[in-house]
Amino acid sequence: MMVTTFVIFLISSIVMLLASILSKKTFMDREKSSPFECGFDPKSSARMPFSLQFFLIAVIFLIFDVEITLLIPFILILKISSIKIYFMTLTFFILVLLLGLYHEWNQGALNWTI
């Protein structure tokens, strides 16, 4: 058992070492690091600054969008479950959504700053 573990560790280490040696790329290659714009030099910087706040708002939107999509099957569940269990489950799910929204609002993640 110990020998097998050692052999697996040794083989994986050798493969990782070979991969890192063989995949060395030159970072100083001007042509590969320059932006391509129809064969011409770009008029402005190709590396535009990206707003981290915009990214966080987009991720929060996607998370809540998926959670809203999870609410759609609740309509079908109403037909097959009792009304008490249905409302308890729906209330719990919406409560978790509202608590998450409150937490994001309280942390200031929803404040749009310029």
**CA pair distance 60, 110, nearest whole angstrom:** 9
Instruction: Break the chain into its structural domains and give their ranges.
Output: 2-107
Instruction: Give the pair of three-digit tokens for residue 64.
Output: 């809540």
The CA–CA distances, whole Å, from 89 to 37, 77, 92 equal 54, 10, 5
Average pLDDT over residues 28-42: 61
Q: Give Cβ neighbours of residue 47 (< 8 Å, ≥ 6 apart).
A: 35
**CA pair distance 21, 81, nearest whole angstrom:** 60
pLDDT of 24 above 80:
no
pLDDT of 25 above 70:
no
Question: What is the pLDDT at residue 11?
Answer: 95
User: In the chain, how long is the greatest CA-to-CA distance?
Assistant: 68
Average pLDDT over residues 14-41: 70
37 three-class SS = strand
Is the entire prediction scored with pTM above 0.75? no
pLDDT of 104 above 80:
yes
Pick the CATH number of 2-107 from 1.20.58, 1.20.120, 3.30.1300, 2.60.40: 1.20.58
- Angle between the 83-107 and 73-80 helix axes, to the nearest 10 degrees? 160
**pLDDT tens per residue, range 90-101:** 899 889 988 988
**pLDDT tens per residue, range 63-92:** 888 888 888 888 888 888 888 988 898 899
Amino acid at 3: V
Amino acid at 12: S
pLDDT of 45 above 70:
no
